[in-house]
Chain A
Amino acid sequence: MAGTDEQEAAFYAIVDSDGRIEPRDAMPEAYRKTLIRQMAQHAHSEIIGMQPEGNWISRAPSLRRKAILLAKVQDEAGHGLYLYAAAETLGVSRDHLLELLHTHQQKYSSIFNYPTLTWADVGAIGWLVDGAAITNQVPLTRCSYGPYARAMVRICKEESFHQRQGFEALLTLTRGSARQKAMAQDALDRWWYPSLAMFGPPDRESTHSDQSMRWGIKRFGNDELRQRFVDMTAPQADVLGLTIPDPDLRWNDERGHYDFTQPDFDELFRVISGDGPCNRQRMEHRVAAHTEGAWVREAAAAYAAKRAKRAEAAA
Chain B
Amino acid sequence: MSAEWPLWEVFVRARRGLSHVHVGSLHAPDAEMALRNARDVYTRRNEGVSIWVVPSERITASSPEEKDAFFDPAADKVYRHPTFYEVPAEVKHL
Contacts and interface: CB of A to CB of B under 8 A. Distances in A.
Contact of B1 (A22, A88, A302): A302
Given A88-B25, A301-B1, A301-B3, A308 B64 contact: no
A94 B25 CA distance: 12
Nearest to A24: B64
Interface string A78-107: 100110011011000111000000000000
A298 interface: yes
Nearest to A303: B29
B25 A85 contact: yes
B75 interface: no
Interface in B58-81: 61, 63-65
B30 A304 contact: yes
Contacts of A78: 40-41, 44
B14 interface: no
A93 B45 CA distance: 28
A301 B64 contact: no
A301 B25 contact: no
B49 interface: no
A97 B82 CA distance: 51
Nearest to A294: B2
Interface string A48-62: 000000000000000
B53 to A, nearest CB: 13
Tell me the interface secondary structure of chain A in the complex. Answer: helix
A151 B26 CA distance: 13
A95 B63 CA distance: 27
B85 interface: no
> Which residue of B5, B41, B45 has the most chain A CB atoms within 10 A of its CB atom?
B41
B27 interface: yes
Interface string A265-295: 0000000000000000000000000000010
Contacts of A81: 26, 41
Contacts of A239: none
A26 B1 contact: no
B33 A300 contact: yes
A150 B29 CA distance: 25
Contact of A298 (B1, B7, B25, B44): B1
Nearest to A300: B29
A224 interface: no
Interface string A297-311: 110111110011000
Contacts of A301: 1, 3, 5, 29
A84 to B, nearest CB: 9
B84 to A, nearest CB: 28
B15 to A, nearest CB: 17
B4 interface: yes
> Which residue of B5, B29, B44, B45 has the most chain A CB atoms within 10 A of its CB atom?
B29
Given A24-B61, A150-B24, A301-B5, 13 more contacts: A24-B63, A24-B64, A25-B64, A71-B44, A78-B40, A81-B41, A82-B24, A94-B4, A297-B29, A300-B33, A303-B30, A304-B29, A304-B33
10 contacts: A24-B64, A71-B44, A74-B40, A75-B44, A78-B44, A81-B26, A88-B7, A294-B2, A301-B5, A304-B33
